[in-house]
Amino acid sequence: MMLTLKGLILRERNIGEINKSVSVITAERGVIDIFIRGGQKSVKNSASTQLFSYSQLCVDEKRKASGHTEYYLNSSELICSFHNIRLDIKKTALASYFCELILFSRTEQAGYADVLRLVLNSMHFLDNGKMESDLLKCVFEFRLPCEIGIRPDLVGCACCFKYEDDKMHFDFRENKIFCDECYVSDDDTDDMVLDKTLLYTVRFIALSEFEKLFYFRLSERYLKKLTAFTESFIAYNFKNSFKTLDYYKSIR
């Protein structure tokens, strides 16, 4: 069956001497691999199937007897190359981290439209430089898990439902917040204290509409705190270390 999909290229891999395959996030099929016959030599599809390109992809979808589905590229057309990201080593590093996070949490399923929208928006703001890279990283690190079903309960204290407090505790093991009175812990290793500003910011990233998500700023001091929060959130929920994150941190 022939299909036309729009997707962002997350990874390129050479297969043998002349062929290649790409991992792509699409709204319709989630994250899929597309085989490109002669892809290493072909000039025709090279710009539209390289890393970070957002393209229209016309593919042949073949359902195997095993239940597995394979995709073969027929033709492609570049929609956006995110040119400025490619020119900047720090932006390239961050975009690679976005791609690695999506690949790690990959699922082939419908309803991936919001994840695609999140990453396209993030790439767009990284490309035009209208949001600072370190803040953009926090937004993506926290909103991606929210979009794939790991949105923590941020309405109020999980115990007494208090909406806000000078000190709220985010419990990383339970993905819940507790007010200072209700929070009980043997040690301080699995929680982080959120003051009102930080709690507001965390709620904003988790819940605001895409139209507003990239339009805010933070002081240097709060950016550091937010970074500690979102990196811990990724570490607790994904339980994996990401080479692209280590690289991003090594070059700033």
What is the spatial distance between Cα 106 and Cα 31, in angstroms, rounded to a whole number?
6
DSSP class of residue 153 equals: B
Determine the interface stretch with Zn ion among 116-124, 130-138, 145-153, 178-186 (rule: CB under 5 A): 178-186
CB 176 within 8 A of CB 153: yes
Q: Which is nearer to Zn ion, 17 or 188 (CB)?
A: 188
**From the CB of 206, what's the least distance to Zn ion, in Å?**
19
Q: At what angle do helices 89-104 and 113-128 cross, to 10 degrees?
A: 170
Residue 187 φ/ψ region, left for φ over 0, alpha for ψ in the -120 to 50 degree band, beta for the rest = beta
Determine the interface stretch with Zn ion among 71-79, 117-125, 180-188, 197-205 (rule: CB under 5 A): 180-188
With binding defined as CB under 5 A, does residue 160 bind Zn ion?
A: yes
3-state secondary structure of 155: coil
**From the CB of 100, what's the least distance to Zn ion, in Å?**
37
**From the CB of 190, what's the least distance to Zn ion, in Å?**
17
Determine the interface stretch with Zn ion among 91-99, 137-145, 173-181, 194-202 (rule: CB under 5 A): 173-181
With binding defined as CB under 5 A, does residue 131 bind Zn ion?
A: no
Distances (CA, A) of 35 to 44, 60, 100, 124: 15, 10, 19, 27
With binding defined as CB under 5 A, does residue 159 bind Zn ion?
A: yes
What is the spatial distance between Cα 203 and Cα 149, in angstroms, rounded to a whole number?
16
Q: Which is nearer to Zn ion, 140 or 172 (CB)?
A: 172
Distances (CA, A) of 231 to 169, 189, 225: 16, 14, 10
β-strands 2-15, 168-171: how paired?
unpaired
With binding defined as CB under 5 A, does residue 193 bind Zn ion?
A: no
Determine the interface stretch with Zn ion among 46-54, 123-131, 147-155, 177-185 (rule: CB under 5 A): 177-185
CB 230 within 8 A of CB 152: no
Choose which of 102, 157, 213, 245 interacts with Zn ion (CB under 5 A).
Answer: 157
Task: For residue 204, count other CB atoms closer than 10 A to its CB.
Answer: 14
Structural tokens at position 228: 């500690």
Choose which of 179, 198, 202, 205 interacts with Zn ion (CB under 5 A).
Answer: 179
Choose which of 58, 182, 193, 206 interacts with Zn ion (CB under 5 A).
Answer: 182
Q: Which is nearer to Zn ion, 137 or 169 (CB)?
A: 169
Determine the interface stretch with Zn ion among 70-78, 108-116, 144-152, 181-189 (rule: CB under 5 A): 181-189
**From the CB of 168, what's the least distance to Zn ion, in Å?**
9
What is the spatial distance between Cα 13 and Cα 20, in angstroms, rounded to a whole number?
6
What is the spatial distance between Cα 216 and Cα 243, in angstroms, rounded to a whole number?
28
Q: Which is nearer to Zn ion, 71 or 183 (CB)?
A: 183
Contacts (CB under 5 A) with Zn ion, residues 90-129: none
Number of residues that bind Zn ion (CB under 5 A): 6
Residues that bind Zn ion (CB under 5 A): 157, 159-160, 162, 179, 182
